[in-house]
Amino acid sequence: MSSVIIEAVERQFEQHRALDGVSINIEQGEFFSLLGPSGCGKTTLLNIIAGFLAPNKGRVFIGGQDVTGLPPYRRNIGMVFQNYALFPHLSVEENIAFGLKVRKVPRAEQRQRVDDALKQVRLEGLGTRRPHQLSGGQQQRVAIARALAIKPQVLLLDEPLSNLDARLRKAMQDELRALQKRVGITTVLVTHDQEEALTLSDRIGILGQGQLQQVGTPPELYRLPKNRFVAEFVGQANLFHVTPDPVTGRYIALAHFRANAEPLQLSAALFHPHTSLLIVRPERIRLSSSPGESAVNSSRAIIKEARFAGSTLRLLCELPGGGVLSVQPAEAGFKNLPAVGDTLHLHWREEDVIVLPDQAIQP
């Protein structure tokens, strides 16, 4: 059953079309993220779901009801903003109870819902404090508790963790995911943070240039991108512009060899005769000191840049023909870390090569 249906939504701001015919079905109890670069339309779409903006065309359904023309307070949604939006002069309990008072919930029920919300976000005993007496993570949990206290059908999150430091942000991601699964509420998150979306979401909608580029689970988007925009936006990607050879079932990398240099040969698990672009993720490339048995999906390379990143290394490797590949091997695989100027051999498997047909190359 779909909890939120976005049907052919369009939104125009003067000469700028922020959304262009976007349609999405978000399932009951699903954690769904809207991901995309700045200006792609994701916050505009969230505001249309919330009722803060009206679409120029299209409709929005929540729980089977057409809410396109309804104001926010009649949509039974809870919303958590980027800046928390807590009332500084009210206590934690009073902040959480605010929406309940507006809805004229009986006082005894207010008390019970506030207590339940505090337990859900693990803030028992802090109800009498003011927001300035809390940490950033605690304030964010108060904002979530306030949204949950009204028992909404849908929880909308507008980059709620962006103001937190990196360590606290990761901890809050774990708490948010656990809370959402525990409560079972349909949740829509807007974020520009790829790792956050991949970590939290059941499914993700990738927006670009006001259009929905692809919807899928995190592994689907990463391993099976439908077009170049998704492939480059979700994670890192090494791009190979190629020409296919139907006789051998292989590809020749056009942009990765100079005159008189041996052309780089590529092979994928699935051959497509009408493609000019292949993709290999940096972490799928292996390093060795020997060239290996096959010249396919293999090349000698010189390390031009090496950065230690904890569990992984970040290398930029120049091929003999002049192309540069990004490589991210696991740090644990090396006794001596590769250094700038070292010559190594790169290898990757056929199943690690993503093939994009020509019609999928343009964003």
Q: What is the pLDDT of residues 208-231, one digit of tens each?
A: 989 999 999 999 999 999 999 999
Strand runs labelled E in the chain = 2-13, 16-27, 31-35, 57-62, 65-66, 77-80, 154-158, 186-191, 203-208, 211-216, 238-245, 250-253, 265-266, 275-280, 286-288, 298-309, 312-318, 324-327, 343-347, 353-357
Q: Taking 80 as the threshold, does the pLDDT of residue 121 lie above it?
A: yes
Work out the percent of the chain whose per-residue pLDDT is above 90.
Answer: 65
Mean pLDDT of 244-248: 90
- pTM, two decimals, is 0.89
Q: What is the pLDDT of residues 49-60, one digit of tens each?
A: 999 999 999 999
Domain 236-360 has CATH 2.40.50.140: yes
Domain chopping of the chain, boundaries: 2-231, 236-360
Type of residue found at 20: D
Q: How many residues does the chain have?
A: 363
Weakest mean pLDDT among 139-153, 173-187, 330-344: 330-344
Q: Taking 60 as the threshold, does the pLDDT of residue 45 lie above it?
A: yes
Mean pLDDT of 179-189: 93
State residue 69's pLDDT score: 93
Is the Cβ–Cβ distance between 59 and 68 less than 8 Å?
yes
**pLDDT band at 363; cut points 50, 70, 90:** very low
d(CA 271, CA 65): 46
**Sequence-distant contacts of 253-258: CB under 8 A, at least 24 apart:** 253/278, 253/321, 253/323, 255/323, 256/319, 256/321, 256/322, 256/323, 257/319, 257/320, 257/321, 257/322, 257/323, 258/321, 258/322
Q: What single DSSP character describes residue 354?
A: E
Task: Please give the CATH architecture assigned to the domain spanning 2-231.
Answer: 3-Layer(aba) Sandwich (3.40)
Q: No. of H helices and E strands in the chain?
A: 8, 20
Q: What is the pLDDT of residues 235-245, one digit of tens each?
A: 899 999 899 99
